[in-house]
Amino acid sequence: MRGINITTNTKTYKICIGENIFSDAIDSFIIEQNPDKIVLVMDENLFDVLKEHDLLKKHQYIKIRCTEKNKNIKTIIKILHFFYLQNISRKSLVINIGGGVLTDVAAFACSIYQRGVRYINIPTTLLSMVDASFGGKTGINYKNIKNLIGSFYHPDIVIVDTNFLKTLPKRYFIGAYGEIIKHALIYDTNYLDYLMNKNHDLVELIEKSILIKKSVVGDDEFETKGTRKILNFGHTIGHAIESYSQKVKKTLYHGYAVAKGIVAESWISYKQGLLTEQESEKIINLINKYNLNKKLKFKIDAEEIITMMMKDKKNSNNEIKFVLLERIGKAIPDQTVPKNLIIESLNLL
Ligand SMILES: NC(=O)c1ccc[n+]([C@@H]2O[C@H](COP(=O)([O-])OP(=O)(O)OC[C@H]3O[C@@H](n4cnc5c(N)ncnc54)[C@H](O)[C@@H]3O)[C@@H](O)[C@H]2O)c1
């Protein structure tokens, strides 16, 4: 089993990574922590995989239907009520098992119940293994705005077991490369070259992505310095398209929405005189290589998407702020872009 320590100003915790490590890693953590009670919050799609596991036999659990639509306040109330019925305390331990939707909602509930109870994240999608399950951002959507309500609240440990990926539908596995390619583009040209070859070792890939996010988060835990904002490359347009897709009932999975955002924001970076045309084309080719640039199942209403972007948390002075690429491997936050360029980039998609 491999381990990476995440260190921020407020907390240090370990991410354990490997294949078939889940049971041993969780057992030793429980023995070490000796909680007064353990409860599980799990993605309902993981139930069949785990129903015979000791954890489910020994402890109470709640199953959550994990869709973007359900990433809402009703789900939070459901989880909080479960905590209340189970009479958990600050000496208890909550084990969250699922993808990014599950870890975002369950961790948010943990952050507000009794002003904070301890939790473990067990990510079960590739996207949550490389990104969503650590870093401390928790949250839910509100009025079609992604992650509008939430908190910063870290887990006590994260256990990444690639065995969970065996049951993950292929489209979600592929979609994760939206975030993985983003990591390379904002931080590491060597990682981008590594991704050019699609035959990579999964544990090594997960580690490489985790190390990039670790560096960014460690440097700017609460996004106060602004450097953490670079993790939002592709997300200004990506999140707006994702929210719009839900509104028109043609939900586009997060990773694919981020990939669309990367295409549009790379093109904007080129038009703004930052990236070269060759760099912009290299990025689009890589996105295509991973089959992430699929035709959208809905027609984009650029004005409405821009209205949605106006609600983005990174904005200031009533202006949409973008993260753009100065070059491959170097992102710059807080960039304003002329409206006609935003519209043109959306029309490209
Ligand atoms: N907090 C953060 O830092 C952060 C970072 C990136 C993304 N996110 C959030 O993560 C969410 C996307 O997460 P995701 O990509 O993991 O998708 P997801 O949680 O929606 O999971 C995708 C689908 O796979 C199912 N599933 C999960 N694990 C499975 C498994 N092992 N076998 C079979 N089915 C399984 C889920 O039930 C769901 O239907 C978005 O809401 C995004 O905003 C958060």
Both 111 and 56 in one domain: the answer is: yes
CATH of the domain at 189: 1.20.1090.10
Rg (CA), the chain: 20
Both 206 and 154 in one domain: the answer is: no
Both 283 and 331 in one domain: the answer is: yes
Both 238 and 113 in one domain: the answer is: no
pLDDT score of 314: 78
Helix axes 277-289, 177-187, angle to 10 degrees: 150
Query: Which tokens sit at 301?
Result: 């209403």
Give the model confidence (pLDDT) of 50-78 as tens digits. 999 999 999 999 999 999 999 999 999 99
Tell me if 75 CB under 6 Å of ligand 1: no
Give the integer Cα–Cα distance in Å for 116 and 153. Answer: 8
Contact of 137 with 223, CB cutoff 8 Å: no
Both 225 and 115 in one domain: the answer is: no
Which of 114, 140, 168 terminates a domain? The answer is 168
Both 160 and 217 in one domain: the answer is: no
Tell me if 101 CB under 6 Å of ligand 1: yes
**Beta-carbon count within 10 A of 224 CB:** 8
Query: Which tokens sit at 195?
Result: 């991704």
Tell me if 232 CB under 6 Å of ligand 1: no
Site to substitute for ligand 1 among 15, 108, 125, 262, most atoms within 8 A of C-beta: 125
Q: Is 207 a catalytic residue?
A: no
pLDDT score of 312: 79
pLDDT score of 144: 85
Of 309, 172, 303, 171, the closest CA to residue 242 belongs to 309
Query: Which tokens sit at 269?
Result: 């970076």
The CA 132 to ligand 1 mean position distance, Å, reads 8
Quote the domain boundaries for residue 179.
172-348
The pTM (predicted TM-score) of the whole model is 0.96
Domain count, the chain: 2
User: Which residue among 146, 183, 213, 314 is the active-site one?
Assistant: 213
User: Which residue among 223, 281, 304, 344 is the active-site one?
Assistant: 223
For the chain, list residues with pLDDT below 70: none
**CA geometry: angle at 155 spanning 37 and 143, to 5°?**
105
Which of 126, 152, 168 terminates a domain? The answer is 168
pLDDT score of 294: 84
Give the integer Cα–Cα distance in Å for 207 and 17. Answer: 8
pLDDT score of 311: 83
pLDDT score of 1: 87
Q: Is 235 a catalytic residue?
A: yes
Both 215 and 120 in one domain: the answer is: no
The CA 314 to ligand 1 mean position distance, Å, reads 22
Q: Is 228 a catalytic residue?
A: yes
